[in-house]
Amino acid sequence: MASGSAAPAGGVRPHGHFGGVEWALTAMVALIWGASFLFIKMGVESFGAGLVPAMRIGFGGLALVCVPASHRPIDRRDWPAIVLLALIWMAVPFLLFSIAEETVPTAVTGMINGAVPLSVAATGALWHRKAPSLRRTLGLLTGLAGVTSITLSASHDGRGSTDTVGILMLVVGVVCYGVAANVATPLQRRYGSLAVLLRIQLVAFVVSLPYGLWTARTATFTWAGLGAMVFLGSLGTGLAYVAGTTLMGRTDATRGSIGVFLTPIVATLLGVTVRHEALPPGVLVGAVLILAGAVLTSRPEPG
């Protein structure tokens, strides 16, 4: 993965069709990030929401620093963008998602995260001052309808609705991811995903560590929690981010995010089988809509 993960500017084909490599990267992102919400929950239950972001970023950085390609230098003029990405792509949303998972079910968290492509597309349209095509708009709206169906179906049980504050935190995190995807894409094309991600993780770790240490006094060590953080960091914050940014470099920010459309399915299955969370019928309808939206969104823009 390391040798082929960086997509140099000369090899980028942002308007090409999705092929086997693109769908493989999409599946990798969906599986790893879909499982990540379960491991966030496990980490929060063991170490607390404040320490989880620093731990997952730290393990992710350790995984990337072992790869020589991540040591590629980055021009000083691009460091402000690196710092911005450290905040809006990792430090802030990681903390918001960790706090939200104290009250929001794992499956619902994954479902709301499935709205990231819509956030990416909306941000991209504003960023480039160009509205998406009708087909892509239809795909995004179809995917959003699927996420909405799943969220409405799974966010209620016999005791009432999911915590509203937690839901709002997740929405803010999704908006952060949408902005970050558009900022990261040109940097990834210029330097390769590994070099960019390592710098982002180093800055995000420094930002997240003080609060994590301050809350560590309430943490309870468990081997299951530590294993969850190793997985979450090395794969969820390491390999999956490499796959995601590589996919964005080979396509564009919107199509590079469609793997997130599929994460609710993985998160829901794990929530049901591992956490014994309910699976209402509307979830199945939403899953079909999400898959349809992913296919439509994967098609290249005309022109």
Q: Tell me: the pLDDT tens digits for 178-228?
A: 899 888 888 888 888 789 989 999 999 999 999 999 998 888 889 999 999
13: pLDDT strictly greater than 50:
no
Q: Which candidate, 33, 95, 4, places its Cα nearest to that of 231?
A: 33
pTM across the whole model: 0.80
Q: How confident is the model at residue 11 (pLDDT cuts 50, 70, 90)?
A: very low
Share of the chain above pLDDT 70, in %: 86
d(CA 153, CA 283) in angstroms, rounded, equals 6
d(CA 258, CA 59) in angstroms, rounded, equals 25
Q: Tell me: the pLDDT tens digits for 91-136?
A: 999 999 999 999 888 888 887 887 787 788 778 777 777 777 788 7
Q: How confident is the model at residue 300 (pLDDT cuts 50, 70, 90)?
A: low
Reported for 164-168, long-range contacts at CB under 8 A and 24+ positions apart, including other chains, are 165/103, 166/99, 166/100, 166/101, 166/102, 166/103, 166/104, 167/100, 167/104, 167/108, 167/112
